[in-house]
Amino acid sequence: MEQILRNFFLFLSKNRFFTKLAKKYGLRFGAGRFVAGETIPNAVDTIQKLNDKGMSVTIDHLGEFIDSKKEAREAADGCIEAIKAIGEHHLDSQLSLKLTSMGLDISEELVMENMRRILDVAEKEDVFVTIDMEDHDRCDKTLEIFKKLRADYDHIGTVLQAYLYRVAEDVQDLNQYDPNLRLVKGAYKESPKVAFPEKKDVDENYKKIIKMHLLNGNYTAVATHDDAIIEYTKRLVEENNISNDQFEFQMLYGIRVERQEELVKEGYKMRVYVPYGNDWYGYFMRRLAERPANVAFVLKGVLGK
Q: Please list the active-site residues.
A: 132, 182
Q: Which of 210, 92, 94 is nearest to 157 (CA)?
A: 94
Model confidence at 254, pLDDT cuts 50, 70, 90, reads confident
Task: Convert the pLDDT of each residue in 149-183 to its tens digit.
Answer: 999 999 999 999 999 999 999 999 999 999 999 99
Kindly state the percentage of the chain with pLDDT values over 70.
80
Q: Does domain 36-279 have CATH number 3.20.20.220?
A: yes
Model confidence at 79, pLDDT cuts 50, 70, 90, reads very high
Q: Is 207 annotated as a binding residue?
A: no
Task: Convert the pLDDT of each residue in 187-209 to its tens digit.
Answer: 787 899 999 999 999 999 999 99
Gap between the Cα atoms of 19 and 280, Å rounded = 8
Question: CA 254, 255, 261 angle in degrees (round to 5)?
Answer: 90
Q: Is 28 annotated as a binding residue?
A: no
Output Rg (C-alpha) for the chain, integer angstroms: 18
Q: Which of 145, 138, 144 is nearest to 115 (CA)?
A: 145
Model confidence at 28, pLDDT cuts 50, 70, 90, reads low
Q: How many CB atoms lie within 10 A of CB 152?
A: 11
If you average pLDDT over every residue of the chain, what do you get?
A: 87
Mean pLDDT of 230-253: 97
Q: Is the pLDDT of residue 121 over 60?
A: yes
Mean pLDDT of 30-58: 89
Question: 3-state secondary structure string, 114-140?
Answer: HHHHHHHHHHHHCCCEEEECCCHHHHH
Model confidence at 301, pLDDT cuts 50, 70, 90, reads very low
Q: Is 133 annotated as a binding residue?
A: yes
Q: Is the pLDDT of residue 23 over 80?
A: no
Q: What is the pLDDT of residue 45?
A: 96
Pairing of strands 93-98, 220-223: unpaired
Please, what's the largest Cα pairwise distance for the chain? 53
Q: What distances in angstroms separate CA 93 from CA 35, 81, 270, one per listed residue?
A: 16, 14, 11
CATH 3.20.20.220 intervals, the chain = 36-279
Q: Is 287 annotated as a binding residue?
A: yes
Gap between the Cα atoms of 138 and 100, Å rounded = 9
Q: Is 185 annotated as a binding residue?
A: yes
Q: Is 208 annotated as a binding residue?
A: no
Gap between the Cα atoms of 40 and 54, Å rounded = 21
- Looking at 18-27, 39-48, 72-81, 97-106, which range is the least confident one? 18-27
Model confidence at 297, pLDDT cuts 50, 70, 90, reads very low
Q: What is the pLDDT of residue 36?
A: 87
Q: Is 49 annotated as a binding residue?
A: no
Q: Is 72 annotated as a binding residue?
A: no
pTM: 0.86
Q: Is 211 annotated as a binding residue?
A: no
Mean pLDDT of 5-14: 52
Q: Is the pLDDT of residue 22 over 60?
A: no
Gap between the Cα atoms of 286 and 283, Å rounded = 5
Mean pLDDT of 71-88: 96
Angle between helices 69-88 and 40-52 (to 10 degrees): 40
Mean pLDDT of 235-257: 95
Q: Is 98 annotated as a binding residue?
A: yes
Task: Convert the pLDDT of each residue in 30-40 to its tens digit.
Answer: 566 778 888 89
